[in-house]
Structure 1
Amino acid sequence: MTFKEAVEKAKPPVNTAYKRQKDALKRDHARKISVKEGSISGSIDIDSALATIKAARQPHRWDYGLGYRAKSGAEYAVWVEVHSAETSEVTEVEKKLARLKEYLISSAPELYDLTTKRGNPIRFVWLASKGINIPKHTQEARRLRQHPELDMPRKRLELP
């Protein structure tokens, strides 16, 4: 299944949020993402899409979903949150990730399958909106290092 097909099978309004390549991302955010091999097959602004429905209007919404087509031809979903990278924001990003996973499992299972598909090199990414200020010795940094799905924030994302 392709990323586009998986988006179209999601519950409204996400099912109509598909855009080509990185077109759903703000220009500044799109510049932070590159691909070494393969390509970006499509994108969605899941934050904006979910903001249109009352049940999903809450502060913990993830920003973007990307379709990544590997050199092998396999297609995966990669989720990107552009957020300030401060120690005080770690809990907020963790909440956003938990909410995203709940949404995918209940309302977009095909997207969740592309996310958890074997071989997916990167699933959930925290991109720093500016600099990164999470000292390595802090409890929050240790928590991120031990997190099974979320790494420390990064300034750029280069897909393999």
Structure 2
Amino acid sequence: MSRTRQRATPQGANAAMFSAFEQAAGAAKLGTAAGKSAVDKRYRPLIDSKDAKTRFTGSVDMDATFSPTEPDAHRWDFGLGVQVPGQPECAIWVEPHSAASTGEVKTMLAKLDWLQAKLQQPAFAQLQALTQACARQGITPFHWLATAHVALRPGSREARLLAQRGLHLPRSKVVI
């Protein structure tokens, strides 16, 4: 059973019922879920905010959406709408993945390439704008959530490769 619901792109007065993230996901023909509920249950508690007033406005499961049509692609897993108090809504992207060896960096960069290619497509323009809004607010838009021990070290060649692409070293918890 899918954790997301397909929502039509809102029009007119009904648009107020949808967050900017849900509207953007609808424009991209992605099913949305309330808050963090599209995120696999075991990872939800590992995605949090510094401020109790920060809201997660919606989420999408990119992996589940695209696995039937792109089974061999290195797909990114989750996107989430975020509303920090006093700031415009924005979008972050979280990929739970092993960080047990330096070889995982190549896989993560392939997943990031896949996601960024999606965000360049016209249907994803609103999601791209929300992603850029996070960056303008000083919120890192792309996060590697470590699913186990982290073998990568600060200052390493792999850490530099990740930083060049806008990814921090993998972390056991994503805090916005």
TM-score interval, smaller chain: 0.7 to 0.9
> Would the aligned equivalents of 1:3 and 1:111 in 2 still touch at CA under 8 Å?
yes
**Which residue matches 1:88?**
103
**Which residue matches 2:167?**
150
Ranked by relative contact order (alpha carbons within 8 Å, sequence separation 6 or more), the top structure is: 1
> Where in structure 1 are there 5+ consecutive unaligned residues?
none
> Would the aligned equivalents of 2:92 and 2:141 in 1 still touch at CA under 8 Å?
yes
Correspondences of 1:1-160 after superposition (within 5 Å): 2-10=20-28, 12=29, 14=30, 17-37=31-51, 38-53=54-69, 56-85=70-99, 86-106=101-121, 107-117=123-133, 118-119=136-137, 121-136=139-154, 138-144=156-162, 146-159=163-176
User: More strand per residue: 1 or 2?
Assistant: 1
* Aligned alpha-carbon RMSD (Å): 1.6
Instruction: Please give the secondary structure, in 2, of the residue aligned with 1:108.
Output: helix
Instruction: Please give the secondary structure, in 2, of the residue aligned with 1:24.
Output: coil
> Would the aligned equivalents of 2:76 and 2:111 in 1 still touch at CA under 8 Å?
yes
In structure 2, the CA distance between the partners of 1:43 and 1:120, relative to structure 1 (3 Å rule), is: farther
Q: Distance in 2 between matches of 1:72 and 1:120?
A: 14
- Could you report, residue by residue, the CA deviation over 1:119-143 in whole angstroms, capped at 9, with x for unpaired residues? 2512000000111111345421232
> Where in structure 2 are there 5+ consecutive unaligned residues?
1-18
Q: Distance in 1 between matches of 2:48 and 2:153?
A: 26
Instruction: Please give the secondary structure, in 1, of the residue aligned with 2:146.
Output: strand
**Alpha-carbon offset, residue 73 of structure 1:** 4.5
TM-score for the superposition, normalised by structure 1: 0.88
TM-score for the superposition, normalised by structure 2: 0.80
Moved over 4 A (4+): none
> Would the aligned equivalents of 1:67 and 1:76 in 2 still touch at CA under 8 Å?
yes
Count of residues in Structure 1 that have an aligned counterpart in Structure 2? 152
Look at both structures and tell me which one has the larger radius of gyration over its CA atoms.
2
> Would the aligned equivalents of 2:36 and 2:44 in 1 still touch at CA under 8 Å?
yes
> Would the aligned equivalents of 2:159 and 2:168 in 1 still touch at CA under 8 Å?
no
- The residue identity in structure 2 corresponding to 1:154 is R
Q: Distance in 1 between matches of 2:25 and 2:126?
A: 8
> Would the aligned equivalents of 1:76 and 1:120 in 2 still touch at CA under 8 Å?
no
Instruction: Please give the secondary structure, in 1, of the residue aligned with 2:42.
Output: helix
